Structure 1
Amino acid sequence: MIRFIKCAARSCKRLLRREDGNASVEFIVIVPLYLTLLTMSVELSMITLRQTMLERGLDIAVRDIRLGTGTNPTHDAIKRRICEEVYVIDDCFNSIKLEMVPSDMRNLTTLGGEAMCTDKEETGTPVLSFTPGQQNQLMFLRACAKFDPLFPTWQLARSLKKDNSGQVAIVSMSAFVQEPL
């Protein structure tokens, strides 16, 4: 029995001195960290892409309104124009909500408060304050879109503010002046 214990102790010492498993240990420690960073960077890049495309779509829609001198745009027409430019938001027309209010340049009023976004769990809600405005009137337009994160259980998506259905909101705002005829 003592002989067996001495033999086992020598074998253990030999195993502890060996270095041929070092690469495996490094791999096991580094790869999960690398994959976590990779998935978080993919998630962040998709959020940034959606935000950028929403900004671009809103800017193009507002430009069309400014250049369409004298035309009063409708809620659905603006929404449709934004969605034509936003390629990365699924079901854009139903995922986006617009608010547009006029403002007096001498007594500035803005789109204060939090943006009202769509919610999967709500029944259809009416259009929020959406006033097309008159000629030479300053208008504020806010678009809010909801989307599902790519990796909802990972750290980045868990740290984002979500609604009851697990969707994240992105908001874009713009201002323009209704040009006269």
Structure 2
Amino acid sequence: MNRLFARLRRRASNESGSAGVEFVLALPIIFSIFMASAESGLLMMRLIMLQRATDMTMRDLRLGNFSDPNAQILKKEICDKGVILGDCESRIMVELQPVSSDSWAMPATATQCSDRDESLDPPPFVLGSDKEIMLVRVCLIMDPIFPTTGIGLSLQRDKGGYALIAASAFVNEPQQNTPGT
């Protein structure tokens, strides 16, 4: 019996393999941090590109670069200008509506995002008149890279994706009636 206890004591005092245990314990934490960093970095890049594409498209709209603007044209332009947004035309909603300059009341409803399973009523799309303040809200549903870990779990999701929202406001310029036109 003493020989058995002596052998067990020798094995317990042996430190070979202790680095392997530390590695196995630390690896999931390090991978979780890596995946959360990658997810949040891509989320921020997509949001910045959506905001940039929305601003550039609204600038083109203000300058009159679209002959007959509608929601589909604006969706296509935003998706074309948003370099890393991928195939976004089926997952994007564009809402354009005037803001009253008397009450300055913003829309009471939340920005409408697309639902992947149901067809929703399209959001308001009103081009407005001269000197009218216009509010545009764009919502895009994107899929997380790592949906079951880190930041992917904590994102508010709509049918598996998270919503990126960009908003902009501008004033419709008065139409110029130039001689000869």
TM-score scaled to structure 2, two decimals? 0.88
**Following superposition, which runs of at least 4 residues in structure 1 exceed 4 angstroms of deviation?**
69-72
CA distance in 2, matches of 1:109, 1:134: 18
- SS of the equivalent of 2:89 reads helix
Give matches, 1:16-95, under 5 Å: 16-68=12-64, 73-95=69-91
Give matches, 1:146-165, under 5 Å: 146-163=141-158, 165=159
Q: C-alpha offsets along residues 50-74 of structure 1, whole Å, 9 cap, x if unaligned?
A: 1111111101111112222896632
After superposition, the Cα gap between the structure-2 partners of 1:169 and 1:176, relative to the gap in structure 1 and judged at 3 Å, is same
Q: Percent identity?
A: 30
After superposition, the Cα gap between the structure-2 partners of 1:177 and 1:82, relative to the gap in structure 1 and judged at 3 Å, is same
Q: Unpaired runs of 5+ in structure 1?
A: none
Q: Is the 8 A contact 1:142 1:172 kept in 2?
A: yes
What amino acid maps onto 1:138 in structure 2?
A: I
Q: Is the 8 A contact 2:60 2:66 kept in 1?
A: no
* 2:164 is aligned with 1:175: no
TM-score scaled to structure 1, two decimals? 0.88
What amino acid maps onto 2:149 in structure 1?
A: W
- SS of the equivalent of 1:149 reads coil
After superposition, the Cα gap between the structure-2 partners of 1:70 and 1:109, relative to the gap in structure 1 and judged at 3 Å, is farther
- Identify the residue that residue 126 of structure 2 maps to in structure 1: 131
CA distance in 2, matches of 1:146, 1:98: 12
TM-fit CA distance, 1:30: 1.0
CA distance in 2, matches of 1:11, 1:116: 70
TM-fit CA distance, 1:120: 1.0
What amino acid maps onto 2:124 in structure 1?
A: S
Q: Is the 8 A contact 1:70 1:179 kept in 2?
A: no
More helix by share: 1
CA distance in 2, matches of 1:73, 1:109: 25
- Identify the residue that residue 98 of structure 1 maps to in structure 2: 94
CA distance in 1, matches of 2:121, 2:100: 25
